[in-house]
Chains A and B, each alone.
Chain A
């Protein structure tokens, strides 16, 4: 009974390719997020969606396009992959927006761009 799940767990691809990462939560939460953890293990917010509506876009290149078909899913599509996109991408969810709302994280997707 995984709470926040991501697929795939590992993704190895060539520069210039387009790839997608999927995220699903079964917690009934309204808000979902994408975070990026770089090679120095620093975690940073990329996007936040609330009830399928984009709330935060943290100056991420427009090669990254999140899509939320419903509030239980938040997918991340990346066009024209670059070497610097190599990182671990984490999906997370919380009951709602703003204040005292615990965030729950998925297991991560390790993306390697060659």
Chain B
């Protein structure tokens, strides 16, 4: 049974720092991995999708990597800003569904 874990569970950093959020999964037979952000009381916004054949994807200050064989993905946020404060969720797709991680709650203070 697939299990997705994210560490750290919470992170509080000053503005400007570069950050790494970690996601690990137990079964490497995935179709893709997706990173989302969730703002308090809001829905999920898709940030990056990495297909199983890809190693990384970039969008602006965000870079996500995928190492399927070791069951790991990292989300790198460069030059963090207070507007990046949110919960970040990773999810792996297998068998027509997304299996979500436990989330990392990020706070970036000025």
- Check A105 against B97 for contact (C-beta < 8 Å): no
21 contacts between A and B (CB under 8 A): A4-B43, A31-B96, A35-B98, A41-B87, A44-B100, A45-B97, A48-B96, A48-B97, A56-B95, A56-B97, A97-B96, A98-B31, A98-B93, A99-B51, A99-B93, A100-B32, A101-B32, A102-B46, A105-B36, A105-B43, A107-B42
Q: Which residues of A contact B (CB under 8 A)?
A: 4, 31, 33, 35, 41-45, 48, 50, 55-56, 58, 90, 92, 97-108
B interface residue count range (under 10 / 10 to 19 / 20 to 34 / 35 or more): 20 to 34
- Please, what's the 1-or-0 string for B91-104, where 1 marks a CB less than 8 Å from any CB in chain A? 10101111110110
Report how far A35 CA is from B98 CA in the complex, Å. 9
Report how far A50 CA is from B98 CA in the complex, Å. 15
Total of A-B residue pairs, C-beta within 8 Å: 61
Q: Which residues of B contact A (CB under 8 A)?
A: 31-32, 34, 36, 42-46, 49, 51-52, 87, 89, 91, 93, 95-100, 102-103
